[in-house]
Amino acid sequence: MSEVITEKKQTIFSGVQPSGKLTLGNYLGALRNFTLLQEDYNCVYCVVDMHAITVRQDPPTLRRQTLEVLAQYLACGLDPAKSTLFIQSHVPAHAELAWILNCFTMFGEASRMTQFKDKSQRHSDNVNVGLFTYPVLMAADILLYQTDKVPVGVDQKQHVELARNIAQRFNGTFSDTFVIPEPYIPREGAKIMSLQDPLRKMSKSDENANGFILLMDKPEDIMRKCKRAVTDSDTRVVRGEGKDGVNNLITIYALATGKTPEEVEAEFAGRGYGDFKPAVGEAVVELLRPIREKTEDLLRNKDYLESVYHEGAQKAAYQARKTLDKVYRKVGFVQR
């Protein structure tokens, strides 16, 4: 028999909350890379509806947005034949492993999570226990799939660190059970800033809706937001210190058109912001148009969407069950 050496693909896990809408920042910073990653990695992408309810959600909105996020992932080029795409609450192993991991997480270490501190201040009327154990559920998400890499922004790095600590503690108590995951900062991960306050990251939770562009925004809204983007009192379309707004628009225009920042500067040499801002708007409109149209198509095609998340949940549950069975055995539960 001939010897075939196949290197096992590494696993990437990423979760996205359906508690809001996806922005241009999410797309350029992460989502666009995901479609490239699925060629080289075993990718598991999960819509984390269970995380979303740690803050109050309007149920019909949550349901709609869960499907919308899924449709947007597909519209951006994630291929259910290559990646595993599913909804967290459809795979009970997440909740089951989270309980076990709760018993391997120290109260003190969970208390140090900065997002918990932030969120309990922002939602001081609803500081529920779920909000506190949120990072433990996230650790379960990651560890169930023997994940090697977790693409995250800086705000989630501490949570991946916690997942590593929990995994090491469990492995150390029993024997190797979990792969120790690493945060993965994508090479090309562009950081897109708010159009209204270019020192802050573009975020859907910005009170000022002109600060962010949603993937589903209508062309006229995109144009308006770009034209109103905050710039500076200089007029040159060049990158520079103190020109945060312009730097950001150059990044956006470059990524939307596939040009380098230098090419963008050359293209607008001798022309002012009055020319540049509408050009950025048009480039973003054209970038997002096919994604928006594809998403709308998919949302009309409920049967297809359903087949995607059914199959995704099946694939995910199979992997998750393997890990969970091991864990149950190690902690001493009687086999059912």
With CB under 6 A, what is the number of residues at the site for ligand TRP? 12
Cβ–Cβ under 8 Å, residues 186 and 149:
no
Q: Which amino acid is at 334?
A: V
**Beta bridge partners of residue 183, listed in sequence order:** 150
Q: Which residues contact 332 (CB under 8 A, 6 or more apart)?
A: none
Residue 169 CB, shortest distance to ligand TRP, in Å, is: 18
Given the residues 21, 82, 117, 119, the one annotated as active site: 119
How many other C-beta atoms can be found within 10 angstroms of the C-beta atom of residue 50?
23
Within positions 15 to 34, which residues make up the interface with ligand TRP, using CB under 6 A?
15, 17
Residue among 51, 164, 201, 225 that touches ligand TRP (CB under 6 A): 51
Q: Which CB, 150 or 255, lies closer to ligand TRP?
A: 150
**Residue 170 near ligand TRP by CB under 6 A:** no
| Per-state percent for the chain, helix, strand, coil, to nearest 5 | 55, 10, 35
Mark the segment that binds ligand TRP (CB under 6 A) among 20-28, 100-108, 137-145, 230-238.
137-145
Q: Which CB, 11 or 231, lies closer to ligand TRP?
A: 11
Cα–Cα distance, 201 to 266 (Å, whole number): 27
Cα–Cα distance, 140 to 163 (Å, whole number): 8
**Residue 158 near ligand TRP by CB under 6 A:** no
259 is catalytic: no
Cα–Cα distance, 120 to 116 (Å, whole number): 6
Q: What are the angstrom distances between the C-alpha of 239 and each of 9, 53, 184, 242, 284?
A: 39, 41, 28, 9, 19
Q: What are the angstrom distances between the C-alpha of 8 and each of 4, 40, 293, 323?
A: 12, 10, 36, 17
Residue among 69, 152, 192, 214 that touches ligand TRP (CB under 6 A): 152
Mark the segment that binds ligand TRP (CB under 6 A) among 10-18, 171-179, 208-216, 314-322.
10-18
Residue 236 CB, shortest distance to ligand TRP, in Å, is: 36
**Residue 71 near ligand TRP by CB under 6 A:** no
First to last CA, the chain: 39
**Residue 150 near ligand TRP by CB under 6 A:** yes
294 is catalytic: no
How many other C-beta atoms can be found within 10 angstroms of the C-beta atom of residue 248?
25
Given the residues 21, 149, 191, 201, the one annotated as active site: 201
**Residue 201 near ligand TRP by CB under 6 A:** no
Mark the segment that binds ligand TRP (CB under 6 A) among 11-19, 214-222, 291-299, 304-312.
11-19
Residue among 75, 87, 91, 142 that touches ligand TRP (CB under 6 A): 142
Nearest CA-CA partner of 295 in 70, 85, 63: 70
Given the residues 21, 82, 204, 259, the one annotated as active site: 204
Q: Which CB, 159 or 277, lies closer to ligand TRP?
A: 159
**Residue 132 near ligand TRP by CB under 6 A:** no
Catalytically active residues are 119, 201, 204
List residues binding ligand TRP (CB under 6 A).
Answer: 13-15, 17, 48, 51, 138, 141-142, 150, 152, 156
